[in-house]
A and B are shown apart, each in its own frame.
Chain A
Amino acid sequence: MNAVLRHRLLWPAVVLAALLLTNLLFTGTFFAVQMRDGHLYGSLIDIVRFGAPLILVALGMTLVIATGGIDLSVGSVVSISGALACLRISGMDDQNTVSGVVAAAGLGLVLSLALGVWNGLLVAGVGIQPIIATLILMVAGRGLAQLITDGQIITVNSGPYKLIGGGYWLTLPFGIIIVLAVLALTAVLTRRLALGLLIESVGGNAEASRLAGIRSRGVIIAVYTFAALCAGVAGLMISSNVSSADGNNAGLWIELDAILAVVIGGTSLAGGRFSLGGTVLGALIIQTLTTTIYSIGVPPETTLLFKALVVTVVCLLQSPAFREKAFHRRRRPVTAPPAAEEKVRVPA
């Protein structure tokens, strides 16, 4: 029981449960999941399905934040990858050929990959502070996406492309399957191999880990590339779901939601440790919040206030200092919160 109470994901889970229960109060059939035409339908499935792009972006962001960095450019990468794929598909004679769609999606992902390497080189190679290094691509990337779409909204009418974000496979929405696959891959890579440890050590102290024989630069470039790749996949999903690419608005401010998801999930922005499960929980909380706003009928003018309220509550609940002050709990003997970590900034 104590182990459950002290688990670091307890409070995010409590908030998610509370949000879901609120929905249940307003909509009695909220938890119902039906099988219709061989597809699973239901509000819970919808939350995961519409939250899939955010979960993906947040997974990439988790690893970047674990190295003590931050990636503001993911929103732009989302719009670029969707724009390029849609442009390619709209130029095809037959938009329904699978090979053509795969090539177009691949093209979008390759460009995302290249943008991620670019970010990584700016941070690790040149030594620019991550927030500024990725701000460059955040600003220029929006322009790039609009350049690709020529300022228009490109619409496509392609069955195979629609599958990525809007289709079903094995009774589940395809987006959920992609998320599960990426999550499993990331979890294996970081928790079964030494990679996770390396990432955390670079986040703890890049210079010390370099002296210990870790290729800090390589690790940093790898995480930014991974973040951009995740964003690229999310971009394909978002554009596929609406069958169009909007260079201006696709993925707008998704970077803030992703960072929020990561932090709600208990990953410190100072770097040095991360929690993939926490990130998924965080992203689900944000998506559930959006659903809740619609289902309980919060007026559109006050949605942001509502969001601010929930975010504040989640963060307060997660803060040991707040819980101690608010609930007068006994001081825990050994596991006092670690003091503000001394971080020495060195050019990696």
Chain B
Amino acid sequence: MSVLVAGRRAVPRKYVPVLVTACLFAAMFAAGGLRYDSFATGQVVLNVFIDNAFLLVVAVGMTFVILTGGIDLSVGAVVALSTMISASLVTDQGWPSPAVIPLVLAIGAALGWAMGCIIHYFEIQPFIVTLAGMFLARGLCYTIGTDSISITDETYTALAQARVDLPGGMSVSPSVVIALVVVLVAAYVLHYTRLGRNVYATGGSEQSALLMGLPVARTKIAVYTISGFCSALGGVLLSLYMLSGYGLHAVGMELDAIAAVVIGGTLLTGGSGYLLGTVLGVLVLGLIQTIISFEGTLSSWWTKIFIGLLLLVFILLQRLISVRRRT
């Protein structure tokens, strides 16, 4: 039915946004390679992964939520809360890290679960519930402490400094491996399990899903729990990356995560989009940062303007290509 021809193979229309994002990412990478020396290497791409592993994990959780037509503004604050709890328990209280990490993950999931319950059972808009969740999590950070707490625990520092060697002299951090495992598991859940089907169905039309007898309540609560869990995991990865806990970590990360999901071609109205798109979205955001760091001489305000412009160019191109393909 809705099939269009690209090259020789027919590409179903539903893959077009993801494909466009992928092509534009490649074009951006090529442009960077032409402009800067030593840009077009595999390690640059891997560094994008290393610097954005936590964002990738958070964005995966956000994808689940947005696919059901919801939104989760609390993720940045939950990330910060996770770093704060980890740091204060490990450094100040001297807890062993194998006990701290599961506890942090459980707290994140519990917060997400609670927000999901309020959203579903009391029919309050997700935007507002998760905004309140954001205030709550940031507030909890400040009640733990207003200063940055550094982490000196051996397990944390060892994990932070460890590198997984890849062929060709390249390497990634363990965080990247964890993030990729999360992506793979999430992709499996979304496309090969009942929960995944329910997520897409709920996002497509909650009413129809309900009438079909799908467990809408369970699905909606599950996606916010997943998002809370992913945010907490993102927080653990961020505390490995920063080796500190601070209430002002990850300010505005929710917007980065939402931007990554949307750049990846997922509709905010729900029901349509792919996890691969989200991965590409995170890579695009990371590549923009990399280009700026290669540019080097930008002042902080030109950096912001430049990020905005690149985002604009990207979205415009994506939009133009998709529209032309459709006609």
Contacts and interface: CB of A to CB of B under 8 A. Distances in A.
Interface of A: 72, 126-129, 131-133, 135-147, 151, 247, 256, 259-260, 263, 268-269, 300-308, 311-312, 315-316, 318-322, 325, 337, 339-340, 342-343, 345, 347
Contact of A337 (B123, B135, B205, B268): B123
A132 B124 contact: no
A128 B255 CA distance: 16
B305 to A, nearest CB: 4
A129 B255 CA distance: 14
A301 B125 contact: no
Chain B contact-residue range equals 35 or more
Contacts of A300: 142
B122 A319 contact: yes
B122 A135 contact: no
Given A137-B308, A146-B300, A319-B123, 17 more contacts: A127-B323, A128-B316, A128-B319, A132-B258, A132-B263, A132-B315, A135-B311, A136-B308, A143-B304, A144-B305, A151-B301, A269-B127, A301-B139, A303-B139, A304-B142, A308-B135, A315-B132
B269 A345 contact: yes
B122 A151 contact: no
Question: Which are the 5 A-B pairs with shortest beta-carbon distances?
Answer: A140-B308, A143-B304, A304-B139, A305-B139, A146-B301
A305 B135 contact: yes
Nearest to A320: B123
A217 to B, nearest CB: 15
A259 B127 contact: yes
A342 B123 contact: no
Contacts of A145: 301
A144 B302 CA distance: 8
B125 A268 contact: yes
B312 A136 contact: yes
B298 to A, nearest CB: 10
B255 A135 contact: yes
Residues of A contacting B: mostly: helix
Nearest to A321: B123
B207 interface: yes
Nearest to B315: A128
Nearest to A151: B301
16 contacts: A126-B319, A127-B323, A131-B262, A136-B311, A139-B308, A140-B304, A141-B308, A147-B305, A259-B127, A300-B142, A301-B146, A303-B139, A304-B136, A304-B139, A308-B136, A342-B207
B121 interface: yes
B291 interface: no
Nearest to B269: A345
B202 to A, nearest CB: 10
A344 B309 CA distance: 30
Given A308-B132, A319-B123, A139 B139 contact: no
A178 to B, nearest CB: 27
Interface string B212-225: 00000000000000
B193 interface: no
B68 to A, nearest CB: 12
A139 B123 contact: no
B101 interface: no
Contacts of B304: 139-140, 142-143, 146
